[in-house]
Chain A
Amino acid sequence: MNLVRRRRLAVFGLTAPAYLWLALTILLPLSAMLFFSFLTQAPFGGRQAELTLGQYGAFLDKAFYRTLAWRSLELGFYVTLGCVAIGYPAALALAKYVKGRWREALFLLIVLPFWSNALVRTFSWTMVLRGDGLVDRMVQAVFPGAPSFGLLFTYPAIVVGLVHSFVPYMILTCYISLQAIDDSLIEAARSLGASAWAVFRRVVLPLSLPGLYAGVVLIFVPAIGSFMEPRILGGPAGIMLGTVIEDQFTVVFNWPLGAALSFILLAIVLAILALAYPLLRRNLQVA
């Protein structure tokens, strides 16, 4: 009995500080924000706030906000697609065709930028994409006399910047499930007469789907909530749900509307996670 109590005390003592911290910084803020999203105005400076559904009503009434949500989803779709197209083949090459120390070095080189500052990496694209920037100069060098063009402050610029930010995620998750595939399965399929394409489609691809799904979710979710990248690379073309939420909190100071829009974004995210949960459950076990 004493032992049981001591164990219980140990577990509580070890986990409570971390989880109290998380409650104060994640759970309570989200609850506060949910509450704010039902207010007419922020209850600061003696102003009287009343409960209302108006903030959510604004989203339903005004086509502008629905268009925004749609634009963010569309952006997430293109970014995720770009990451799959670039990242999956890279992960496959790394897991199945590169061996030994080279693989280790390449793997490190790929995940390294992912852990460096996202803001700085986004900023660095402005120098590549702007008129007279690197891309423009390269085009000029290959086609002399071609009209000068800048991609900065266009929609493709946002997609390129976000793909650059997130593609290491895709390579990482796909690599983990690809390198877990037993090579003898592939050899068995080959020796039974399957073509390289058939081996890929019937053996490698299905077995690597968990990593692919994980990558898709881990990229799609932050991509639809992005605001810094659209702001820096998209300029006027970069108005997204994320940038409008940012504005509500930093420029317009309409916190209740910002809170409601955040919760709509959160609802979209949760819906995606709920859809993906059965697919992800087996892969995302921590500790």
Chain B
Amino acid sequence: MRRGWAWAIKGYLAVVLGFLYLPIAVMMVMAFNQSSLYELPVRFDTVWFEALARNDRLLRASLNSVLLALANTVVATVLGTMAALAFARYRFRGRTLLQLLLFPPITIPWLIIGTSMLVLFFWIGIGRGLHAMLLGHVALSLPYVIVVVGARLKSFGPALEEAAATLGASPWQTFWRVSAPVMAPGVVAAALFAFAVSFDQFVISYFLAAPGVSTLPVEIYSAIRKGFTPEINAVSTIIILVSMGIMLLVARFYRFGGER
């Protein structure tokens, strides 16, 4: 009876994992299928990856995506870490309010945030394009950076810093010699998070893309709407591998939810 129960639980978890990974696996297999009509059996071929290498539109969009994600990572990590430091080391009036203000970027549907950014940026002359997308991506990344770095800062408390200060270190020395090394894993994890948020972001980019200036997800969306092409499978396979790789790296530095 107990054994049967244990098998049922394992089987259930296997089914859930199957549900999560099956479509992705199918897409990856089809990316290597020679037939553009997804015919079976699969005949292995890298023809769609070669086609991708010649597709200037998608290549330019990929470059945009990577540059944007890098810029977003730098800005969001620096600004977010600063705010996290303030939250972790100071008690001040309005602290709770400022922390609550981190929720809107996460909880308001991106559709609303994206369209309202379009309205404002167009209206006041910021316009659309990569700079506008950067403004949006940083806003979405900041809450994650602040939470992730904050969790790390909370785990070691101000005692170390106070000790350094008592021993005569200047605030600057204390920060670089004591705080920075201890919070480094949190900052690295937050930076990877920020990269992933931007690299995978579609909705905000979609509304802020200018004609000819777009990112990979935006190009993919318009390609899907025009009609399926197996090249999209190829580029999607690459994207999935990149973002999953990044999250595996994050997992090295930051433990998701609760103790394990």
Measured CB to CB, the residues of A under 8 A from B are 7-8, 10-11, 13-15, 17-19, 21-22, 24-26, 28-30, 32-33, 36, 43-44, 86, 89-90, 93-94, 97-98, 103-104, 106-113, 115-121, 123-128, 132-134, 137, 164, 167-168, 171-172, 175-176, 179-180, 218, 221-222, 224-228, 231-232, 242, 245-246, 249-250, 255, 258-259, 262, 265-266, 269, 273, 284-287
Contacts and interface: CB of A to CB of B under 8 A. Distances in A.
A222 B107 CA distance: 8
Contacts of B203: 228
A33 B23 contact: no
B115 A266 contact: no
A228 B202 contact: yes
B107 A269 contact: yes
A29 B236 contact: no
A225 B110 contact: yes
Interface string B184-214: 0000000000001001101100010000000
Nearest to A227: B111
Interface in B134-153: 135-136, 138-139, 142-143, 146-147, 150-151, 153
A11 B6 contact: no
A282 B27 CA distance: 41
Contact of B123 (A32, A132, A265): A32
B257 to A, nearest CB: 5
B225 interface: yes
A109 B202 CA distance: 23
Interface in B82-106: 82-88, 90, 92, 98-99, 101-105
A152 to B, nearest CB: 11
A28 B120 contact: yes
A111 B256 contact: yes
Contact of A19 (B98, B199, B240): B98
Interface in B205-244: 207, 217, 220-221, 224-225, 228, 232-233, 236, 239-240, 243-244
Given A25-B117, A32-B119, A36-B119, A86 B101 contact: no
B112 interface: yes
6 contacts: A29-B121, A111-B247, A117-B217, A167-B19, A179-B259, A265-B111
Contact of A265 (B88, B107, B112, B154): B112
A14 B112 contact: no
B165 interface: no
Interface stretch (B8-16, B43-51, B53-61, B156-164): B8-16
Nearest to A137: B40
**A-B interface, 6 closest residue pairs, ranked by CB to CB distance from nearest:** A225-B109, A287-B150, A14-B86, A25-B139, A29-B116, A124-B27
Interface residues of B, number: 93
- Most A CB contacts (10 A, CB to CB) among B116, B196, B248 go to B116
B109 A123 contact: no
Given A25-B138, A112-B244, A287-B99, A118 B23 contact: no
Contacts of A111: 247, 256
Contact of A11 (B90, B102, B104, B142): B90
Given A28-B120, A242-B111, A269-B107, A167 B20 contact: yes
A140 to B, nearest CB: 11
B143 to A, nearest CB: 8
A119 B139 contact: no
Contacts of A28: 120
Contacts of B16: 86, 90, 110, 167, 171
B251 interface: yes
A287 B151 CA distance: 6
B17 interface: yes
B260 A287 contact: no
A33 B220 contact: no
A91 B146 CA distance: 27
A32 B116 contact: yes
B118 interface: yes
A21 B139 contact: yes
